[in-house]
Amino acid sequence: MSRVRVLVLRAPGSNCDYETAFAFEQAGASTSLVHIGELVRRERNLNDFQIVAIPGGFTYGDDLGAGKILANEIRFRLGQDVPRFVESGRLVLGICNGFQALVKAGILPSPRVGQQRMSVTYNDSGRFECRWVHLRVNRDSPCLFTEGIERLYLPVAHGEGKVVAAPEVLSGMRKVLYYVDELGNRAGYPYNPNGSVDDVAGVCDDSGRVFGLMPHPERSVRGSQQPHWTQGATEGFGEGFRLFANAVKWARGL
């Protein structure tokens, strides 16, 4: 059986690309770091891959807002390539800046390039928030990345992580992850580090195959990366690894 192939999309300012590639490789996939210019020039083809991952970072310096320029590259220069990729049954993952780009390109909460229906904006605290957060998985979510997972403990690092949407969009949104306290209860700041409406930390499309989240699972792949590693939790994989393992396992059937 051939290995699942993952395209890790790069652009100027990406800084979590190698970590994301490593996470997928640990899950058994083969990864390629591909600059967006290579896709625009048709030097690389999305259809050669089963998974596209857009990692975190500060693409194009976030000069027009977090992920906005990358979103415009996807929207105006790739056109329907990403929606067609999704329609073919493949997977898309956006982490932090990648999530922001998917939202602003109109791919989340549903793949409609050019029709932005939600946004990710400045944290209520007015500052960059960098800490580990508790997350609860929505049991009713169709997201295949979180299958079999109830709780997660992952790091966040962002200045623009607040999910906002009109009430009619919010009510139909496929919410995957919620910011919660240690007991799993929604508790507001600082447990919700950015003020996201309904404490939303991640969303997916109706198919469950396009998933975006603000926390960084690629920074929690090894047990030794968890903050409580000094208590002996250094063996095996970190909590974020399960998201990548689920994706690769599912993609093997494509």
Q: What is the pLDDT along the chain (254 residues), one digit of tens a residue?
A: 579 999 999 999 999 999 999 999 999 999 999 999 999 999 999 999 999 999 999 999 999 999 999 999 999 999 889 989 999 999 999 999 999 999 999 999 987 766 899 999 999 999 999 999 999 999 999 999 999 999 999 999 999 999 999 999 999 999 999 999 999 999 999 999 999 999 999 999 999 999 999 999 999 999 888 888 777 655 689 999 999 999 999 999 87
Q: What is the pLDDT of residue 110?
A: 84
| Domains along the sequence of the chain with CATH | 5-251 (3.40.50.880)
pTM of the model: 0.95
242: left (phi over 0), alpha (psi -120 to 50) or beta: alpha
Annotation marks residue 143 as catalytic: no
Which among 16, 96, 143, 204 is annotated as catalytic? 96
Residues 6+ apart with CB under 8 A from 124: 162, 189, 194, 195
Catalytic residue among 16, 158, 216, 239: 216
- 218 belongs to the catalytic site: yes
Calpha distance 218→222 (Å, rounded) = 9
Cα separation, 218 vs 144, in Å, equals 17
The yes-or-no answer on residue 228 being catalytic is no
